[in-house]
């Protein structure tokens, strides 16, 4: 495990290499009736988030669920709403990519699954299970290369379906799954951030009201992330903290440009705070310029990397649980 942790800091892990498409189209755990059940789950999640996004946008800025807004277009000026959109994009790219992958490989449905399916192997665990540089879940295995097979296509049996697919050790991750991985990194960390930000700093229990709408933007989103984090088979890389950090930087730059162009929040002017703030006391380029700049630096360089690291910890827990289950099943 320590060897795997050390390898996380190799410069190449800023990118999307070392993983095959298969990592993004099957779950880590054992599911029956693969791949249909997994495809249905991905589309169900994507559709659910989209439906609620439409409902929220319809009611946003309308009493009694929200304060009166001057235009619904300003829904897009808040980071929590950016986070929700990114989460929806992640699920849609994952769902469509999964469907297309299984359609193209013509996998058959199976009601039985081999124990340990989806396990990413360490060099010691791999041994005889190595297939051309990838384990049975599509993760690259770090092991000594074999002679005369580094560029050969091999048939790899899918433990879920019993079918085979051709895999080459030098085949890179498809561009659409790179997009999925990017939005996974962004949306997972952002969901954590906006949920903590809302309930710890923004929500006032004395004056605020919990509604099904703000609960979806600042709660249900995180529930989707936590559930998905323990179901998916795709990896998590420490150095990918750069993706949520860049997203945060882009958001702060957007707010600065928005303010410079005369943009205001959706409320009538406040006698004390005016209407230039987006988040009172922490994001106001006119009245709280220094505070806003400090918050920006803290979020980009501290909060985003730390929350990403927390999610990496969940990923390691998922991998540990899978190894434990695989060992338990192998004894039966």
In this predicted structure, what is the pLDDT of residue 31?
Answer: 79
Question: What pLDDT sits at residue 89?
Answer: 98
Per-residue model confidence (pLDDT) at position 211: 92
Q: What is the pLDDT of residues 6-58, one digit of tens each?
A: 889 999 999 999 899 999 999 987 778 889 999 999 999 999 999 999 999 99
CA dist 27 to 131, 208, 240, 287, 293, Å? 19, 39, 21, 48, 41
Long-range contacts of 111-116 (CB under 8 A, 24+ apart): 111/32, 111/33, 112/32, 113/30, 113/31, 113/32, 113/34, 113/159, 113/160, 114/159, 114/160, 115/30, 115/325, 115/326, 115/329, 115/330, 116/159, 116/322, 116/325, 116/326, 116/329, 116/330
- How far apart are the C-alpha atoms of 28 and 48, rounded to whole Å? 22
What's the pLDDT at 127? 38
Considering the chain, what is the average pLDDT of its residues?
Answer: 82
Cα–Cα distance measured from residue 134 to residue 149, given in angstroms and rounded to the nearest whole number: 13
- Please report which residue ranges of the chain form alpha helices under DSSP H: 2-7, 36-59, 79-105, 123-126, 175-196, 212-215, 221-231, 242-260, 289-298, 304-330
Q: What is the dihedral of CA 183, 184, 185, 190, to 10 degrees?
A: 80
Q: What is the pLDDT of residue 271?
A: 58
pLDDT at 307: 97
Which residues of the chain are under the pLDDT cut of 70? 1, 107-171, 270-273, 329-332
- Print burial letters for 103-141: b (CB count within 10 Å at least 16), e (below 16): eebebeebeebbebbbbbbbeebbeeebbbbbbbbbbbb
Q: Residue 150: what pLDDT?
A: 34
The residues with which 134 forms a beta bridge, in sequence order, are 131, 140
Alpha-helical (H) ranges within 106-157 are 123-126
Task: Judge residue 260's burial from the number of C-beta atoms within 10 Å of its C-beta, 0-12 exposed, 13-18 middle, 19 or more buried.
Answer: exposed
This prediction's pTM = 0.81
Alpha helices in 112-174 (DSSP H): 123-126
């Amino acid at each position: 495990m320590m060897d795997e942790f050390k390898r996380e800091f190799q410069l190449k892990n800023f990118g999307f290499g070392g993983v095959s498409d298969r990592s993004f189209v099957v779950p880590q755990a054992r599911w029956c009736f693969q791949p249909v059940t997994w495809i249905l789950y991905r589309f169900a999640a994507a559709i659910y988030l989209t439906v609620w996004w439409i409902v929220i946008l319809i009611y946003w800025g309308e009493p009694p669920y929200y304060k009166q807004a001057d235009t619904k277009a300003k829904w897009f000026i808040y980071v929590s709403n950016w986070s929700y959109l990114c989460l929806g994009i992640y699920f849609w790219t994952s769902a469509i990519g999964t469907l297309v992958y299984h359609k193209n490989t013509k996998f058959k449905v199976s009601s039985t699954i081999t124990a340990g399916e989806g396990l990413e192997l360490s060099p010691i665990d791999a041994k005889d299970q190595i297939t051309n540089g990838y384990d049975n879940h599509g993760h690259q295995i770090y092991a000594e290369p074999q002679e005369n097979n580094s560029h050969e296509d091999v048939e790899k049996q899918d433990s879920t379906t019993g079918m085979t697919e051709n895999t080459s050790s030098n085949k890179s991750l498809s561009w659409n799954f790179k997009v999925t991985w990017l939005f996974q990194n962004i949306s997972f960390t952002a969901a954590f951030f906006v949920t903590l930000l809302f309930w710890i700093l923004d929500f006032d229990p004395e004056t605020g009201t919990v509604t099904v709408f703000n609960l979806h933007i600042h709660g249900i989103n995180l529930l989707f992330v936590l559930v998905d984090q323990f179901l998916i088979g795709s990896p998590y890389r420490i150095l990918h903290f750069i993706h949520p950090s860049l997203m945060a930087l882009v958001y702060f730059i957007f707010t600065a440009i928005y303010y410079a162009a005369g943009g205001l929040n959706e409320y009538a002017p406040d006698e004390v705070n005016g209407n230039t703030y987006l988040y009172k006391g922490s994001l106001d380029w006119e009245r709280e310029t220094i505070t806003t700049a400090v918050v920006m630096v803290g979020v980009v360089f501290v909060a985003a990397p730390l929350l990403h690291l927390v999610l990496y910890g969940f990923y390691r827990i998922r991998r540990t649980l899978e190894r434990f289950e695989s060992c338990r099943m192998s004894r039966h």
